[in-house]
Chains A and B, each alone.
Chain A
Amino acid sequence: MTFEYAPAPESRSIVSIKPKYGHFINGSFVAGKKHFPTINPATEEILSHIALGGTSDVDKAVMAAQKAYTKTWSKLSGKERGKYLYRIARILQERAREFAVLETLDNGKPIRETRDIDIPLVAAHFFYHAGWADKLDYAGLGHNPKAYGVAGQIIPWNFPLLMLAWKVAPALATGNTVVLKPAETTSLTALLFAEVCQQAELPDGVVNIVTGDGSTGSAIVNHPGIHKIAFTGSTEVGKKIARAIASTDKKATLELGGKGANIVFDDAPVDETVEGIVNGIFFNQGHVCCAGSRLIVQESIAEEIIEKLKVRMAKIRVGDPLDKNTDLGAINSKEQLIKIKELSAIGDAEGAERWSPQCDLSNKGFWFAPTIFTGVTQAHRIAQEEIFGPVLSVLTFRTPQEAMDKANNTPFGLSAGIWSEKGSRIFWASQHLKAGVIWANTFNKFDPASPFGGYKESGWGREGGKHGLAAYLKNGKETGAK
């Protein structure tokens, strides 16, 4: 007999999902007019119905945020603002399991990741930024830097609650109020977060959540009462936003796409490198803007690495996201699955060699086996375009400079990985790579203290750390001696 792991599903009894949700405006839920279903992408079960926010809903939310900004939030000291953020962090920790299960149900990502990564990082983000609220004079932005006012925040579906935390925590810590729109397919944890705001007794209107689709997001971007836009999503939409606000005074931070190079030198620690490659592209089903989606491996060890990678990939457990042993969950939506399939088909057509381990994929829900393409060159579309799925393109290089040239040969500049046991080579490579986040002998690590964001078409600005505060503050008075 072999060691088959029996199903170990996390109980979903900890969450209660309402049949229908409204928007969260000015501290309470208000009914929506039109609704659309939100489904569990692992089963296609309809979980609830989400309100489709229109311009009037956005208008109400912005008015509430403006009022909250002028009447309460901007009048609070940083010390008091910080205490609200600490409260939110603590409540998130208390209700962590509930959030993890709900996120897994709504998004399709494995419970192991929501439980061990997403939700702990969410709480950490609020805790970290809470401490900044009364220390903004030390953020390097001059004396008494000021908030913009109302921040319009539009977040993606790949890390729904984590992206909310990345946006809301710094905005509130710096004294802005918020109108946030979660992604169309993943609104539930944001709506549960609204309850956390209520439990934390956050003043009404400081956080407003309007659910909906692209048109709702567009209404936020174009609303004259919004002073600052924070967007995470595709480069295509990011450019649209940049154009939409070009003639306004709105500030923007944009966290957009990537085609991260994961570079393996011949002196890499092989087993940990293979783990890093797996983590780089199969973490969160590859729905990661900073995914290491291009493996750039030194030709002399390419064969060994690919062979070991295949053995390792065969051990990836694909299936029920609520099962505690699942490594790779469901693709978030049918639309995304189609896109992944299309780009993979292009990989086939361009002559790259596709390989996946044997996987029993459910007929219900949206699934895609972990996949690698070997024999890929820079000229292949799968080496250039973001697939945003569990699909890795493998390229090779001969010299370190060639690795750098290939890594940088993209309009994106979000992330890169370096695998080598030689310290000086790691520093050399990290200097040469044009990317905002570089992981040396690790990959896909996140922390509220660590700034995140990209060069070139991967976006504008940083989120997290001291650098992330600049996105939400107008420079204060210069304090330097003349």
Chain B
Amino acid sequence: MSFYGLVDGSEKSLIQYLDQLSGVDQVGAEARAAMLATRSIKTTSKKWAIETAISMVDLTTLEGADTPGKVRALCSKAVRPDPTDPTVPSVGAVCVYNDMVEIARTHLDAIGGEHVPVAAVSTAFPSGRASMEVKIQDTQDAINAGAGEIDMVIDRGAFLAGKYGLVFDEIVKIREVCGDKAHLKVIFETGELVTYDNVRKASFLAMLAGADFIKTSTGKVAPAATPPVVLVMLEAVRDFYAITQRRIGVKPAGGIRTTKDAIKQLVLVNETAGPEWLTPNLFRIGASALLNDLLMQRMKMSDGYYASPNYVTID
């Protein structure tokens, strides 16, 4: 087996590859992210950024209390975020637990949302603590139910124990299950990997194993998609493209709640991976509350006065 001609999948080859990656200096990475956060995005560029961000939202509900009603409402919102303004684009995807995939898919198709994919969190989300058989079945179920995107979690315990081969194999197997039916996003739970060195290693490990997207977090652990974590992942996809000519997507998830947060993310993309990544095909934002803030900011820009939550729908 060969993965991009870079590793053969053995633990030894993985360790060799990951060890030759450049380290990440925490202070420098955080300083760069903080500097980019000072970019001031105004007027026309802000309008463009808001609409682009809306189209990148993976509108998410991942609660124990999720019901079919809640999921259907979310789907309606995903297709037409602002019912009063048809020029607002649909979001990037709807992201739900496995057992809600079919409900979501059916409802989206029923309301003219065929173009909005359903993303399913999979592989014993969020902890990933289950047997491989269960993880494969979990993924298969989601695909059978109509999921176009699989958001899998890596085994952080194995990663932190240095068992890169194990982590790699799981991603490879889930990739096989996805086949050409579903895009694979690999969630690192960066809050548990802790160091940027680990984030960079995990990024390359996942990309080598066949990830279509790399994703920061489950949303269940803080810190989640901090700007420096996303910066390090964007550097990784940029470097991976330089080596393989393949563009891997990035999905920050967790903690991005305001338009300001979202625009900071777009600036990071623009100035790190480059403008080629400024498309829902290569950048997504996992969020729920963010969408309404984007809509309110959009209203403010078109109306010229500050908006109220009373004028955006709550689900």
Contacts and interface: CB of A to CB of B under 8 A. Distances in A.
B275 A271 contact: no
A271 B236 CA distance: 10
B22 A271 contact: yes
B49 A3 contact: yes
A267 B41 CA distance: 36
Contact of B45 (A3, A270, A271, A275): A3
B23 interface: yes
Nearest to A421: B23
A408 interface: no
Contacts of A267: 23
Contacts of A273: 28
A113 to B, nearest CB: 11
Main secondary structure of the interface of B (DSSP, over half): helix
A324 B40 contact: yes
B24 interface: yes
Given A3-B275, A315-B271, A271 B24 contact: yes
Interface string B47-62: 0110010000000000
Contacts of B43: 6
A434 B266 CA distance: 43
B265 to A, nearest CB: 12
A4 B28 contact: no
A2 B277 CA distance: 10
Interface residues of A, number: 25
Interface stretch (B31-39, B74-82, B252-260): B31-39
Of listed A116, A269, A270, A275, residue having the most chain B CB within 10 A: A269
Contacts, number: 69
Nearest to A278: B32
B235 A271 contact: yes
Interface in B213-251: 235
Interface string A1-19: 1111111100000000000
Interface in A236-260: none
Interface string A255-299: 000000000000111111101100000000000000000000000
Contacts of B271: 315
A442 interface: yes
A198 to B, nearest CB: 33
A441 B38 CA distance: 22
B38 A116 contact: yes
Interface in B249-308: 266-267, 270-271, 275, 278
Given A116-B38, A325-B39, 12 more contacts: A1-B48, A3-B45, A3-B52, A5-B40, A6-B42, A269-B24, A269-B28, A271-B24, A271-B29, A275-B31, A324-B38, A442-B28
Interface of B: 22-25, 27-29, 31-32, 38-46, 48-49, 52, 235, 266-267, 270-271, 275, 278
